[in-house]
């Protein structure tokens, strides 16, 4: 049975890692702050609106301290099973390439929503499309959701927010 404050049932084994040739995903933690902040600050204009048209993240004055606080919150939520933030790392672990967020849906038609981003320098090599494809397959095969929203990708933010 699913606790109302949890996105997945207590008996669901949360995937710890997803490995591909080009990248791997693992839980985003405070230990990722330096690499995460670097990735975000490379791409602030590009990332605006990734969490919806009214969401200000990343703020123009985003500080390392604020990013670290965000990572603390994501880590806490992951452990509580109420949302799941994964960092997307290069195979050699030297760079954060982006992030994937599995969140409760604001739209009752969906049991979860997924937001993901890659740093701007990774767009030219097709990482955004590859990550999106891999994440969709991973969620379909390994997670318990029946209807996942991908606002800004498979559904417009406007349409997602209207329901």
Tokens for 93, please give them.
């672990």
Query: Angle 33-42/64-80 helices, nearest 10 degrees?
Result: 120
Tokens for 134, please give them.
């891999």
All residues at 6 or more sequence positions from 119 whose CB lies less than 8 Å from its CB, including other chains: 39, 40, 42, 43, 96, 97, 98
Task: Dump strand ranges (E) for the chain.
Answer: 17-19, 24-27, 84-89, 96-103, 112-118, 148-149
The domains found in the chain, sorted by start residue, are 17-162 (3.40.630.30)
Please tell me the predicted confidence (pLDDT) of residue 162.
86
Is the pTM for the entire model greater than 0.85? yes
Tell me: the pLDDT tens digits for 41-92? 998 888 999 999 999 999 989 999 999 999 999 999 999 999 999 999 999 9
Tokens for 102, please give them.
């599995």
Please tell me the predicted confidence (pLDDT) of residue 106.
84
Tell me: the pLDDT tens digits for 95-124? 999 999 999 998 999 999 999 999 999 999
């Amino acid at each position: 049975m699913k606790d109302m404050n949890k996105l997945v049932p207590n008996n669901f084994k949360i995937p710890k890692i997803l490995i591909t040739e080009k990248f791997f995903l693992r839980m985003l933690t405070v230990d990722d702050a330096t690499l995460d902040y670097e990735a975000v600050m490379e791409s602030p204009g590009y990332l605006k609106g990734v969490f919806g048209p009214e969401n200000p993240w990343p703020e123009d004055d985003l500080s390392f301290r604020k990013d670290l606080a965000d990572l603390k919150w994501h880590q806490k939520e992951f452990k509580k099973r109420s949302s799941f933030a994964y960092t997307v790392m290069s195979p050699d672990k030297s760079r954060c390439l982006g992030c994937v967020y599995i969140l409760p849906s604001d739209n009752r038609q969906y049991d979860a929503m997924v937001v993901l981003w890659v740093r701007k320098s990774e767009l030219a090599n097709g990482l955004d499309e590859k990550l999106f494809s891999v994440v969709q397959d991973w969620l379909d095969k390994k997670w318990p959701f029946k209807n996942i929203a991908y606002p800004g990708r498979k559904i417009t933010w406007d349409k997602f927010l209207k329901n």
